[in-house]
A and B are shown apart, each in its own frame.
Chain A
């Protein structure tokens, strides 16, 4: 994997390019990793994956722990690694320990030997050597080292320990590192600026190809986040990519971009999809219909709609007029509303396709803003636009 920064905008936000060995087209950053379960999207079938924007949609997140449910490292190896096993030869895989949905870090049970996770197969303790066995068999393009992620409400001592362990495991993982695959050093430290600085400094000393920033989305407030992020990115070398986990909402992504983050791993789309929500916010940051905004009490606002709402029962229009995703080109809100009501899986497939498409469009808008030097303005306008919706909602409440 190769990475290069191509453009800057107002401070730390940067636009770059990732070049994978197995995919000819460069992937521009800031970029969204698509969430997967065992390497495939939750609902989007593999033959519909190519309908998503390319090459934006070609970076997939994968969690090695998913395979503990039934696929041994040996079998993954025999299958030729992830790309071969999944028939996704021109996609990039980034292996990370955290999937935020089913494999959750169980920080109370983590000890000096390994990281503990609650998984569908029960609580598992993963040691660096076991983790590296999985990584070696999977052969991802990018992989993060094993981390001890803790939420922000742990004691200072526990937080310090998590940094010590993460750095030690970083060295263990590098020592067991397979040939091929870019190693991203894990950085933790909770909401303690000093610990974040310490961890970033230690990891920056190691010979890694990029950085995986963990521990976010685990209790820090929106206001304290920029300081924590900047502490980290100020220390890290500029020319290496930064991948962050746990920033999902558009506002959070924008905070990450403002601090110099390049790759985002988020479960936002998954949660939206399960809830029956479809993204509708305007991608250019300007809402033409702001003045005739009407609040509805079905959970919709200008950013997304709740397709379960009865108001869509007979709505024969697509989710977003003019959207060229498979769902909007082929199906209506009425049909998806029906599918949700009768609990048909096709609903989730169609919604995940649209949401992914839409969110990738958001990232494209971010990149454009950076390249034209307007990122700060874009960021501000976006946040103001969202605040207006909340204000209107509050007035009607």
Chain B
């Protein structure tokens, strides 16, 4: 174990904590931007620090391809290679393999796939994944799990869950740097509460430094999504960090935090920036629209980031999708937004005003009071009264 997790404040299931990792002391709840290939698209490390990023994700699959984990190791690990002084997390490589590669196949041994370089058959085993991640050197590494889309039904889900449990032991055995890198297990089981429960108990038995809730953020309904998160957070140990993988939208992060999750990652903020979409308290702002061409207001008047303090929507409009600078500036703003959201979640819990924060957040995002039903249901389970944000006739009928 190479981390310390100290809860500093609570509201019902929600918690604000200090997560001490080898390279950085973090405050949770927190969002982790994805720096797929050893960089967050277009942003320099000093900007990431200024924005307030605490942990960045690296994708094992991509880095193992280029420049290779051996090269990264030779040059002192990913922190040194990209000159990032704060924390890093790498995923197992399994997800990309399955989602990016044609003809990837899962067996007991691991994930077999065609090498994207020369088409030869290759095998990613739990051992191999951990060894690659050991070489990359991130503060948190993820176990190789068997991910299935939540839209799939049938025995495949159960098979995947048991693979995950058997593979975790192989991951633990292969892990050579447990005092510098924290191996997180990933809860699978699709949308089936029984399978999820078995998986949680199996992973908790292994006494890992932290746990992730995987297999979500695929194509499942929001209603199914929050219920799985709620079940898992209720069953996972109190005193260890909980990471919901692939989440995501600001609203989802607020709900999951209310239900007791601590960490999140998603490509959404940076990807949507490249398409000209900015994250704002009201939802999103599409800078490409012609209406923006003469709008001299900032993207978000309440945002204190360099972009909102300096540029107007009109100027960003003339840059987006045409100039690299547009991408850079919007990514900067969107990440700043996500980091501010993380900070606000953390401080509002500590200062005992979490419900007020949630209500305010929902009120701005749903000014007509049309808060989605799944959010209302989730908040009820989380024990947060959001009736003041919901208009009287929009509550659920069942």
Contacts and interface: CB of A to CB of B under 8 A. Distances in A.
Contact of A334 (B75, B294, B312, B315): B75
Interface in B312-351: 312, 314-315, 317-319, 322-325, 327-329, 332
Interface string A311-342: 00110100000000010001110110111011
Given A45-B47, A79-B312, A334-B75, A37 B39 contact: no
Nearest to A67: B318
B356 interface: no
A78 B314 CA distance: 11
A258 to B, nearest CB: 35
Given A46-B310, A70-B318, A78 B45 contact: no
A349 B42 contact: yes
Interface in A34-48: 37-38, 40-43, 45-48
Contact of A346 (B43, B76, B81): B43
B39 A346 contact: yes
A41 B323 CA distance: 10
Interface stretch (B66-74, B106-114, B364-372): B66-74
A241 to B, nearest CB: 29
Contacts of B227: none
A47 B306 contact: yes
B68 to A, nearest CB: 9
A70 B42 contact: no
Nearest to B50: A47
Contact of B325 (A40, A47, A316, A335): A40
A87 to B, nearest CB: 4
Contact of A75 (B38, B294, B310, B319): B294
Contacts of A339: 37-39
B296 to A, nearest CB: 5
Interface in B45-76: 45-47, 50, 62, 66-67, 71, 74-76
Contacts of A87: 309-311
Contact of A349 (B44, B75, B83): B44
A70 B325 contact: no
Contacts of A69: 318, 322
Describe B's contact surface by its main secondary structure.
helix
B293 A71 contact: yes
A332 B78 CA distance: 13
A70 B324 contact: no
Contact of B41 (A78, A332, A345): A345
Given A42-B325, A70-B293, A335 B315 contact: no
Given A47-B47, A70-B318, A38 B323 contact: yes
A42 B319 CA distance: 11
B101 interface: no
A330 B80 CA distance: 10
A46 B39 contact: no
B45 A330 contact: yes
A314 B75 CA distance: 7
A178 to B, nearest CB: 20
A75 B293 contact: yes
A314 B309 CA distance: 40
Given A43-B325, A45-B332, A75-B314, A344 B37 contact: yes
Contact of A42 (B74, B315, B324): B324
B152 interface: no
Nearest to B80: A316
Interface in A340-357: 341-342, 344-346, 348-350
Contact of A38 (B47, B67, B74, B319): B319
A349 B71 CA distance: 23
B318 A334 contact: no
B294 A74 contact: yes
Of the listed residues A75, A313, A337, A348, the one surrounded by the most CB atoms of chain B closer than 10 A to its CB is A75
Interface string A58-87: 000000000101111011001100000111
A350 B44 contact: yes
Contacts of B38: 335, 338-339, 342, 344
Interface in A19-61: 37-38, 40-43, 45-48
Given A78-B294, A79-B296, A316-B75, A85 B44 contact: no
A70 B290 CA distance: 9
A41 B82 CA distance: 23
A41 B319 CA distance: 12
Interface string B165-194: 000000000000000000000000000000
B312 A38 contact: no
Interface string B74-101: 1110000111000000000000000000
Contacts of B47: 45, 47-48
7 contacts: A42-B323, A47-B47, A71-B293, A79-B315, A86-B311, A330-B45, A349-B42
Which A-B residue pairs are the 7 nearest by beta carbons?
A: A87-B310, A70-B318, A345-B42, A71-B318, A75-B294, A342-B37, A338-B67
Given A47-B306, A67-B318, 5 more contacts: A45-B325, A70-B318, A75-B293, A85-B315, A314-B71
Interface of B: 37-39, 41-47, 50, 62, 66-67, 71, 74-76, 81-83, 293-294, 296, 306, 309-312, 314-315, 317-319, 322-325, 327-329, 332
